[in-house]
Amino acid sequence: MVLDTAPYVLQLQQVERHYNQGDTELAILRGADFSLKRGEIVALVAPSGAGKSTLLHVAGLLEKPDAGEVLLAGDPCSNLTDEQRTDRRRSDIGFVYQFHHLLPEFTALENIMMPQLIGGLPEKEASERAAQLLDYMRIGHRAGHRPSELSGGEQQRVAIARAVANAPLILLADEPTGNLDPETAGYVFEALEALVRQSGLAALIATHNHELAGLMDRRVTLSEGLVVDF
C-alpha cells in the first residue's frame, strides 16, 4: 500500500502543451496537474488522440511545456537546457514503449548493459546488473539470445529491464503490453509490478487494457486537457 507521506518524484503543475496545424492551434494539455509518488503505479487510460503520449513526453522531458512546470524529485525542469534535460532523463527516467525497440544485433544481456555503459558504469558491473535484472524478470536463461530469438513477452521484459538498468526514479510506459496477447500481457505486468514494488520506483503506464489498469494503485484519464482521477 502506498503511504500518503511518500515523497512526490514527479509533479506537473499547470502544464500546457499545444501544436500548430496550419493556422489552427491545437491545445492538448490545458493547465494539467499531476503528481506521482515513490512506489506508486498509476494507469493513464484515455482514448486515442486525447494526449496520452504528449503527457508522457512532457513528463519525461522529451518535450518542453508551453507553460507550467515539471518537477522531478522537487527540482523544476522546464527551463533546463537540452543537455541538462538529457542528463536528467538518463539518470532519473526510464521509458518503455509498445514496441520494444531493442537493438537487433545485440543479445538481451548486451541490450540491458548498453545504457549502463553509456552512463559510465564499468563493463563487469554493467554485465552483473544486467544478469540480475534478467533473472528478476525470469528470463535469465535467455541472456545470450538476440531479440529475434525471443518471444514478444520476453522482448518486452528485456525492454523493461533495460529501462530500469540505471535505477531511475520514474518509469514511463506507453502501451507496454499493447502488442501482447492477454495472458502474456498479464505476465509482463506482473513482472513490472514486482519490480516497482521491490525497488520503490514510481510508474506511470498508459494503457487501453482496463483489466490491467484496475490492478494499479489508481487510474487517471485526460479530459479537456486536464488530468482527472476516475
pLDDT tens string 47-63: 887 888 899 999 999 99
pLDDT value of residue 107: 97
pLDDT(3) > 60: no
**According to the model, what pLDDT value does residue 2 have?**
41
- CATH 3.90.1300.10 assigned to domain 40-63+87-227? The reply is no
C-alpha cell at 90: 538518463
Using CA atoms, how far apart are residues 16 and 25, in angstroms rounded to an integer? 12
Cα angle for residues 154, 167, 103 (degrees, 5° grid): 40
Instruction: Please give the pLDDT value at position 96.
Output: 87
Residue 97 in contact with residue 53, Cβ under 8 Å? no
24: left (phi over 0), alpha (psi -120 to 50) or beta: beta
Among the residues of the chain, which ranges form H helices?
52-59, 82-92, 108-118, 123-136, 152-163, 182-199, 210-213
> Could you read off the pLDDT of 15-39 as tens digits, one per residue?
999 988 878 888 899 999 999 999 8
Contacts of 82 (CB under 8 A, 6+ apart): none
By residue count, the chain amounts to: 230
Task: For residue 141, give the DSSP letter.
Answer: G
Alpha-carbon torsion (142, 147, 150, 155), positive or negative: positive
Q: Domain residues of the chain, as ranges? A: 40-63+87-227
3-state class (DSSP) for residue 216: coil
Three-state DSSP at 151 gives coil
User: Pick from 201, 192, 176: which is nearest to 52 by CA?
Assistant: 176
Report the distance separating Cα 175 and Cα 127, nearest Å: 28
Band of pLDDT at residue 1, cut at 50, 70 and 90:
very low
pTM for the structure as a whole: 0.88
